[in-house]
C-alpha cells in the first residue's frame, strides 16, 4: 500500500459525517463523482470497503468505523501543520462525544462561518472525561449535557435534540404519526449504550420513572448499527433516538416523533473561564446565536435541566 492521499481521507471523513455523498460534495466544493472517486481510491489503497450504500443513506462498515477516528486525527494533524507554517490562529479543539451527535452539526455550521479557524474534533466518553480535558487544556471546549458542578468552567445552552421513538416496522405503534410519552407507560425501552455514570444514562434515569417506562441497559453495546438492526428484528422492543443523531436508517425500523411536550436532550457548550483562545469566544457567540430557548408546554426536560435553558 502506498501513502494515503489526504484529499481522499478528507472526502471519507466528510461522507462519514454527512452520511451522503451529495452533501459531502457540497461541503467540499467538488462534484459528487469526484467524492466517489476519492473514496473508491482510498478503499482500494486500504483494501477494504469503508461504506455501505443503501437507499436510505450511506453507512460505515466495521472497517470504516475503525478507520474514522484515525482519519480524523490524521486530518487534524495535517491542518495543524499547515496553520503552524502559515502563522494561522491557534487550533480550536472541541470535544463532540461522538461525530454522529448534534455538536458535530453545530461545528460544521461554525466551520462554514469561520473558515480561518483551525478546527479539530475530538471524541471522548462524555462529561466524565471532557470536563477534566477542558480544565486541563487538552481541549478548548466540549459539547455535553451538563450535570453537577462546573468549577472553573462556563457553559451556554447549545441545542435541544428532540427524542424520537424507534420501533420495528411491524410494531403496533409503527403506523402512528406521533406518540405521547405517557402512552409508553409499562413498556421497556432497550438502551444498551446507556453507560453507568454517563450524563445520558442519568437523563433516561429521570425520564423512565416519570413516565413509567423501564429502561433496559443490558448489553453488550455493539454500536449504533447493531442497535438499530436489533430493533428492526424485534416487534415487541422499543428504543429511543435523537432527531439530530445520525443513526443508521433501515426500512424495517420506523422513527416516530413525540407529541408535545416533546422529550428533548439539552446539549450545552463548555469552556474554561480563563481561556486565551479567541476562537473559543467566536464559537460561543455562534452557538448562542443558533439557540432558541424552549417553552415549558412544548418540551419535556429533567427538572435539573430547566435551570440551564
Let me know the angle formed at the C-alpha of 57 by 41 and 194, rounded to the nearest 5 degrees.
Answer: 105
pLDDT for residue 86: 59
Average pLDDT, the chain: 90
The b/e string for 252-283 (b: 16+ C-beta within 10 A; e otherwise) is ebbebebeebbbbbbbbbbbbeebebebbebb
pLDDT for residue 75: 79
157 — pLDDT class (breaks 50, 70, 90) = very high
Domain ranges, ordered by start, for the chain: 1-63, 161-264
pLDDT for residue 63: 92
**Torsion angle (degrees, nearest 10) of CA 234, 240, 245, 251:** 30
CA dist 57 → 80, 215, 234, 241, 300 (Å): 32, 29, 22, 17, 30
pLDDT for residue 141: 97
pLDDT tens, position by position, 66-95: 998 888 778 777 766 666 665 566 789 999
What CA–CA distance (Å, rounded) separates 2 from 41?
11
> Is residue 107's pLDDT more than 60?
yes
Out of 85-89, 100-104, 300-304, which region has the weakest mean confidence (pLDDT)?
A: 85-89
pTM across the whole model: 0.72
pLDDT for residue 27: 73
Q: Kindly state the cell numbers that stand for 271.
A: 469552556
pLDDT tens, position by position, 241-276: 999 998 888 899 999 999 999 999 999 999 998 888
> Is residue 100's pLDDT more than 60?
yes
Q: Kindly state the cell numbers that stand for 131.
A: 470536563
Q: What percent of the chain has pLDDT over 90?
A: 69
Q: Evaluate whether 162 touches 242 at the Cβ level (below 8 Å).
A: yes
pLDDT for residue 83: 62
> Is residue 1's pLDDT more than 90?
no
**CATH number of this structure's domain 1-63:** 1.10.10.10
Q: Evaluate whether 43 touches 52 at the Cβ level (below 8 Å).
A: no
Q: Kindly state the cell numbers that stand for 146.
A: 451538563
> Is residue 26's pLDDT more than 90?
no
pLDDT for residue 61: 92
What CA–CA distance (Å, rounded) separates 145 from 173?
29
pLDDT tens, position by position, 128-140: 999 999 998 899 9
Assigned CATH topology for domain 161-264: D-Maltodextrin-Binding Protein; domain 2 (3.40.190)
Give the CA diameter of the chain.
Answer: 60
What CA–CA distance (Å, rounded) separates 25 from 155?
34
Scanning the structure block, which residue is given the C-alpha cell 481522499? 8
Amino acid at each position: 500500500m502506498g501513502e494515503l492521499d489526504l484529499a481522499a481521507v478528507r472526502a471519507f471523513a466528510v461522507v462519514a459525517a454527512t452520511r451522503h455523498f451529495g452533501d459531502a460534495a457540497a461541503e467540499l466544493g467538488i462534484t459528487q463523482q469526484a467524492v466517489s472517486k476519492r473514496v473508491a481510491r482510498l478503499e482500494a489503497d486500504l483494501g477494504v470497503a469503508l461504506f455501505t450504500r443503501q437507499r436510505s443513506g450511506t453507512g460505515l462498515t466495521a472497517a470504516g468505523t475503525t478507520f474514522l477516528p484515525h482519519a480524523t486525527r490524521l486530518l487534524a494533524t495535517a491542518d495543524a501543520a499547515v496553520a503552524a507554517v502559515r502563522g494561522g490562529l491557534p487550533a480550536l479543539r472541541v470535544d463532540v462525544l461522538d461525530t454522529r451527535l448534534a455538536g458535530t452539526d453545530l461545528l460544521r455550521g461554525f466551520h462554514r462561518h469561520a473558515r480561518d479557524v483551525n478546527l479539530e474534533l475530538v471524541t471522548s466518553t462524555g462529561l466524565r472525561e471532557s470536563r477534566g480535558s477542558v480544565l486541563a487544556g487538552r481541549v478548548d471546549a466540549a459539547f455535553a449535557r451538563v450535570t453537577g458542578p462546573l468549577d472553573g468552567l462556563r457553559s451556554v445552552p447549545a441545542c435541544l435534540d428532540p427524542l424520537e421513538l424507534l420501533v420495528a416496522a411491524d410494531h403496533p405503534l409503527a403506523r402512528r404519526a406521533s406518540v405521547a410519552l405517557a402512552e409508553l407507560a409499562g413498556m421497556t425501552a432497550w438502551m444498551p449504550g446507556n453507560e453507568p455514570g454517563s450524563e445520558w444514562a442519568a437523563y433516561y434515569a429521570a425520564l423512565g420513572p416519570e413516565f413509567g417506562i423501564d429502561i433496559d441497559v443490558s448489553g453488550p453495546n455493539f454500536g449504533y448499527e447493531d442497535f438499530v438492526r436489533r430493533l428492526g428484528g424485534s416487534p415487541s422492543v422499543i428504543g429511543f433516538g435523537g432527531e439530530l443523531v445520525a443513526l443508521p436508517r433501515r426500512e424495517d425500523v420506523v422513527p416516530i416523533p413525540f407529541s408535545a411536550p416533546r422529550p428533548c436532550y439539552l446539549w450545552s457548550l463548555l469552556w474554561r473561564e480563563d481561556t486565551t483562545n479567541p476562537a473559543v469566544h467566536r464559537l460561543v457567540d455562534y452557538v448562542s446565536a443558533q439557540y432558541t430557548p424552549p417553552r415549558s408546554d412544548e418540551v419535556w426536560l429533567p427538572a435539573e435541566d430547566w435551570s440551564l435553558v
